[in-house]
Every structure is written in C-alpha cells, then in structure tokens.
Homo-oligomer: A and B are copies of this chain.
C-alpha cells in the first residue's frame, strides 16, 4: 500500500491524496472502521508536508469516506452497504446479473450488429470494407476557419442549449439547398438529426404500423434492414436492375397487400452503386401516389456525381404533397465525424418528429451544426466536391479497370460513388472467398448482409474510397486469383 501513489501535474496534491485514499477505501484495501495511517507517518511516507495530509483527510471526511474519533485519529467509513442480516444470503447476493434483464429489442440490436461480428482488419490488411470518405481529402484549414469564424460570432450561444428542430441558419441553408435540387419546399419543414441513421430511426418510430410491411430495394443498405427489423417491420424486397428497381416486380409486390412505407436509395444505391433513371423515378412515384404509400428517400451519396447526369431526387418528383420523406446527410461526402443529417418532409410529420427528437436526445450538437453551416456558408462545399469527385472518379476508374482485368465476376455494377458491387456464378460463396483473401491480407464486404431474402451469397461490395492506388491493384488481383481458384476447384 502507498507505494503505487504517483503525483500528477495540475491537480492540488491534497486532492490527489484524497482520491488515492478514497480508492483504497472503496476497493476494500482499507477496510471499514480501520484506522487510516497517522498524518505524520503518511506525510513522511509520501514525502509531503503534514498539513497536506490533514487537508486530504478533512476532504475525505467531507465526502463521507472517513470519520474522526477524538484523540484516536481518522477511520475509514463503511462504504459498503450491509448486504443482508447474516449468513443466509446466497453466494451471489452481491451481484446483479444483467443477462436476463436485457430487452428483446436490445438483444436483437446486438445480434444484428455487424460491426461486432465484422471482420477486423489487422495492420497491413488491404480493406475494401469501408465506404467512408478518404480523410486525406479533408480540408482541415477550412474546417478550422469555419469553427473560429462561428465561435467569434456567437460562441456563447453555440455552447448553450439549442433547439430540437435544429440550428436555424443550417435549416435555412439546407432548405435552399434542397430547393436547388428541384424540391418544392413550400409546404415542407425540416428537422436536423445526428446523421442519416438517427433520422431514419426517428421516422420509423413515428410512422404508425398498420400493415407492418415495408417495401425496399433488394439488396439494400444493411443498416436500414437492421433498423426496419428492430422496429418490427416485415420487409419485402424488390429486385434491382441496372437502372433501378424492377418495376414489374414492384407492381407484383404492390398487389400482394398493403405497405406502410417504401424505403429507397435512388442515387448510387448501396450496395449496387446504380442510379435510378428519371423514367423509373417518375413511374415509381406515380405508383406510390396512386396507392398513397409514403416514400422514405435516402439521399445517400447524391452529391457524388462524377459521371452522367444528376437525376432529380424523388422528393422533387412527388406530386402527392407530403408523399416523400427525404433523409439527407453529408457523412459520405464531407465529414462523418460531425454527426449531422436532415429530414425534409410534410410539416405535420416534422412537427411530431421534433417532439420525438427532443424526447430522445434534446437536440443535435450545435457545434457540429454551426461548424457545418459556416463551412458551407464560406463556399467550401463546391470547392471540396470538385477535388473529391476528381479523386474518387480516378479511383473508381482504376478499380473498375482492375476488376475487369482480374476478377471473374459474372456481373458488376456501380455508376459512381465510393464502391462497386460484383456478382459471381451462383456456386461461388463470397464468404469462402473472403476467408481465402483474408489469408492473403485482403478483405471486403460479403454481399449477403444487404439482401432482404437471404440471397446474395455470391455477391460482394468493394469500397475503394480509402484504399491507395497500389493497394487497389494488389487487392483486386488477389481477389481475382482467389475467385478463379475457387471456381476451378468446384
């Protein structure tokens, strides 16, 4: 005892001694009602003045961890409540087990948590699993500038409580931003959220379950599948084609029964990377309007156009007022570390969402919101996007070329964005392929987790945004070699 005491800088010595003694008492190293070392003794032992120890003991006493007996010194308080009245207690009386106190919802969240059971990339591994932006593109100076600008203008306001709905200048900016995408925002309103996922979760909590059924693309964003399941929705996936979901299959699905909503990722769809054509968007919206089914549009990666045309979002094409709930985020485009997203939709819906948001987390970080606003306001987005698009386009073309040259896929999709999607002959299981590649230091995301119907065992997603050119070449070669080997060995 006392020989592991070390002084840190910055905190008064008597408080550090108090903390140290408190820990000894709490952890049972000094037992209840045992005398603490005499002040003179401890002072000598720790090499501090006696006054320091006296001050430390006084603080310890004020906090309730010690008491004085006149003429006898200081004693440790009994800080462990009695755990019963004798020896009849079962052995684990002092333990509250959580295993059987966890809700089914939470257990399901854990079971569906891919990050927990995901493949860990050891050092040196070439990882194609991420579709996060490449941080080397981040213009830190503009970010610092935006922070300092805004803090100088209204730092005191930013650091105090804000509003559940969001930071007003950012809302105004984003409403205008959405109008520029062609959305008629006149009867709409906006809620700022901590990223896309929170927005989606809030919307799913707010939509009433009538049929309890949801339509979506198959495959689709795996986090969305997880959240739909967590909210108890039954999922009906509609197969994808090169220009978006198969409308004939969609009509069939619509004839099967009612749906509470449709969830769609029309641009640079995750995981297939395809962009839904304007014709399909219009026809789709007509079908949804006619049946009165609300559409949740995931604005994922819409900004990352670097080839082809920028098709208008569904929110710009819905004639039915209130029919589209658009959820946007700059996480894949700008900075995921700032958790900011937005929900644009019918006024009544946004009004309720505001209350749900307030109940759940008061409001989104004002610092994140104001920094993002100022960054946008300072005109950095266009400049940043020009650089980012050029860089991602280059990587996209390189990855595409490598895949075409080296990988024996049966089909490949991806019109841009940060990833490609490959399908192999039905017999090739990409989890086997992953195991083989991992041996050689290369990992990717097997496609099955994106499928709503248990399919996709022969597919994979290849995220290239954070992989160097050299590693793209090496990694894709290895995937190609292993795929060929597996195909041959069948």
Which residue numbers of A lie inside 8 Å of B, CB to CB?
Answer: 10-11, 19, 22-23, 25-27, 61-65, 77-84, 93-107, 109-110, 112-113, 115-116, 132-133, 135-136, 138, 140, 143-144, 147-148, 151, 155-162, 164, 179-180, 182-184, 186, 194-195, 197-198, 201, 205-210, 223, 226-227, 230, 260, 278, 282-286, 289-290, 292, 294, 309-312, 316-323, 331, 335-339, 346, 348-349, 351-356, 358-368, 371, 379, 382
Contacts and interface: CB of A to CB of B under 8 A. Distances in A.
A351 B323 CA distance: 38
Contacts of A26: 182-184, 316
Nearest to A10: B379
Contacts of A322: 95-98
Given A161-B337, A364-B339, A182 B359 contact: no
B321 A206 contact: no
A159 B79 contact: no
Given A64-B312, A294-B96, A112 B359 contact: yes
**Of residues A115, A278, A290, A367, which shows the largest number of chain B Cβ atoms within 10 Å of its Cβ?**
A367
A94 B289 contact: yes
A321 B81 contact: no
A79 B316 contact: yes
Contact of A206 (B77, B79, B102): B102
Contacts of A358: 109, 113, 115
A375 to B, nearest CB: 11
Stoichiometry, as copies per complex, reads 2
A106 B289 contact: no
A180 B19 contact: yes
A283 to B, nearest CB: 7
A206 B346 contact: no
**Of residues A109, A132, A147, A206, which shows the largest number of chain B Cβ atoms within 10 Å of its Cβ?**
A109
A6 to B, nearest CB: 13
A418 to B, nearest CB: 13
B160 A336 contact: yes
Nearest to A61: B309
A353 B101 CA distance: 13
A135 B107 contact: no
B197 A98 contact: no
A358 to B, nearest CB: 6
A210 B164 CA distance: 32
A292 to B, nearest CB: 6
A146 to B, nearest CB: 11
Nearest to A199: B361
A63 B277 CA distance: 11
